[in-house]
Amino acid sequence: MKRLFLAALLMAGVLSASAQTKGGGISEEMLSRISKSYAATPYQKALKNALASTSIATLAINSDNLAMIDTHFSHRVPTRGITDQKSSGRCWLFTGLNVLRAKMISKYDLPGFEFSQNYNSFYDQLEKSNLFLQAIIDTRDLPLTDRKVDWLMKNPIGDGGQFTGVSNLIMKYGVVPKSAMPETYQSNNTSQMANILRQKLREFALELRELKPAKAMERKEDMLSEIYYILVECLGVPPTEFEWARYDKSGKLVSKKTYTPKSFYEEYIGEDLEQNYIMVMNDPSREYNKVYEIEYDRHVYDGENWLYINLPIERVKEMAIASIKDNTAMYFSCDVGKFMDRSKGTLDLNNFDYASLFNTSFPMDKKQRIQTYTSGSSHAMTLIAVDLDEAGKPKKWMVENSWGASSGYQGNLIMTDEWFNEYMFRVVIERKYVPEDILKMLEQKPTLLPAWDPMFAPEE
């Protein structure tokens, strides 16, 4: 009897395997079994009807979590005004300038202030064009099918980026007030300009690959002149000198002077952004307490590749709390689209219940989400507040966003500490808030990572 039972099991296995096509495709028999798994119960029919005319996010709203998060914060960096990047991918630049803006407003007690994002965007696009063209010259002996050349051709330019763009561009070109170089339609809506620039750069790349190095360098300057022309037409001429009047909160004139972009930066900020800031990451897919560098992940050819220290989440929080307590905002980036309630402006793991909606589960942890491209940093914002409990542990955090004052909670987003653990990726901290043992890690030789690593798409 036992032998008959085993034989029947083996035969069932053979029949099941034969139901698949030889190459692993879906056979008619397999499709029949799969389709029968949908029972078409009244519940399933009702859900299918609802999904036919309603967004998944709306149907997944967790009705047990409709109440607004408490908006009190025990520690908050004072800020004034909300910026708006409009239809552009410049969150990294808005965030970096917002960190400096908060310092300037606080130091000089200004009624409000905004740096010109358009000014630094202009030089960002020019420098990225040079970075791409020079990289093409550097790799001209590699075939087009080489992974590095292939990546370059796929990613010649964009307006996304990260903090090294902020530090390198400002230290090289300075800053100007928004009044000195305001936004244009193209700076607020960058997709068409970006398409034109990508097309020209790829065209230039093919030409450069056919030239000898000396001739290629000479030709590159002509190419950059064409790019400069396009940028001026789209964004305007970046000022080399301007006049700016400073008023106090009561509207009284304090000073009125003529500046260059660099002299303006030196007078009102004066920090060495390239030396005074440390980027820390929480990436559980890689070894902690190690330093990593990302190849070609910079905005300026002669600037710095993105360098960061990978740390456990609690070490990141320790430094972020110290900075906020000292009224210093930070550059912060995360996977903003996950569990975001736009109407309330909250980032909370309990905002949506996709598991119940589809009768399934989503068991991947942060490490697995990174490894499978399910999650990664997508957006930069300015970290400005934390709410600590009686034991000094964080309950929630708040960031100043760059999507306009009507977006989220008064232009900000509030995140629970649980969400912070799962979807926060990096923070840029001033050296004075970084413990000595972490600073010492910078003495390590960095592990070089390729530009196409899943964690390092530009923040937009």
pLDDT per residue as tens digits for the range 311-330: 999 999 999 999 999 999 99
Which H or E run contains 449? strand 447-449
**Closest Cα to residue 139, out of 128, 150, 129, 130?**
150
Confidence of residue 21 (pLDDT cuts 50, 70, 90): low
Q: What is the mean pLDDT of residues 94-110?
A: 95
CB of 391 within 8 A of CB of 340? Answer: no
Reply yes or no on whether 91 is catalytic: yes
Confidence of residue 85 (pLDDT cuts 50, 70, 90): very high
The pLDDT score that the predictor gives to residue 20 is 53
CA 214 to chain centre: 37
The pLDDT score that the predictor gives to residue 460 is 86
The pLDDT score that the predictor gives to residue 6 is 46
The pLDDT score that the predictor gives to residue 177 is 98
CB of 199 within 8 A of CB of 149? Answer: no
Distances (CA, A) of 396 to 152, 388, 403, 458: 40, 8, 21, 26
Distance between CA atoms of 181 and 348, rounded to whole angstroms?
38
Cβ neighbours of residue 107 under 8 Å, at least 6 residues apart? 268
Out of 98, 130, 351, 401, the active site residue is 401
The pLDDT score that the predictor gives to residue 457 is 79
At residue 358, φ and ψ (nearest 5 deg) are -105, 10
Tokens 């996304």, residue located: 160
Distance between CA atoms of 388 and 390, rounded to whole angstroms?
7
SS3 434: coil
CB of 69 within 8 A of CB of 437? Answer: no
Out of 282, 310, 351, 379, the active site residue is 379
**Closest Cα to residue 239, out of 115, 119, 97, 127?**
119
Which H or E run contains 259? strand 253-259
CA 134 to chain centre: 25
The pLDDT score that the predictor gives to residue 163 is 95
Q: Is the pLDDT of residue 288 over 50?
A: yes
Cβ neighbours of residue 316 under 8 Å, at least 6 residues apart? 280, 282, 424, 427
Q: What is the mean pLDDT of residues 88-106?
A: 96
Characterize the bridge pairing of strands 424-430 and 330-334. antiparallel
Mean of pLDDT over the chain: 93
Q: What is the mean pLDDT of residues 214-234?
A: 97
Out of 91, 234, 282, 299, the active site residue is 91
CB of 30 within 8 A of CB of 19? Answer: yes
pLDDT per residue as tens digits for the range 386-408: 999 999 999 999 999 999 999 99
What does the domain layout of the chain look like in residue ranges? 84-449
Neighbours of 225 (CB within 10 A): 9
Q: Is the pLDDT of residue 18 over 70?
A: no
Q: Is the pLDDT of residue 179 over 70?
A: yes
Which H or E run contains 394? strand 394-400
SS3 153: helix
Q: Which of 21-35, 282-296, 431-445 is least confident?
A: 21-35
SS3 6: helix
CB of 176 within 8 A of CB of 121? Answer: no
CA 57 to chain centre: 22
Reply yes or no on whether 379 is catalytic: yes
Neighbours of 82 (CB within 10 A): 19
Neighbours of 233 (CB within 10 A): 12
Confidence of residue 15 (pLDDT cuts 50, 70, 90): very low
Confidence of residue 2 (pLDDT cuts 50, 70, 90): very low
Neighbours of 389 (CB within 10 A): 10
Q: What is the DSSP string of 313-366?
A: HHHHHHHHHHHHHTT--EEEEE-TTTTEETTTTEE-TTSB-HHHHHT------H
Distance between CA atoms of 215 and 145, rounded to whole angstroms?
24
pTM of full prediction above 0.85: yes
CATH architecture of 84-449: Alpha-Beta Complex (3.90)
CB of 294 within 8 A of CB of 456? Answer: yes
Confidence of residue 23 (pLDDT cuts 50, 70, 90): confident
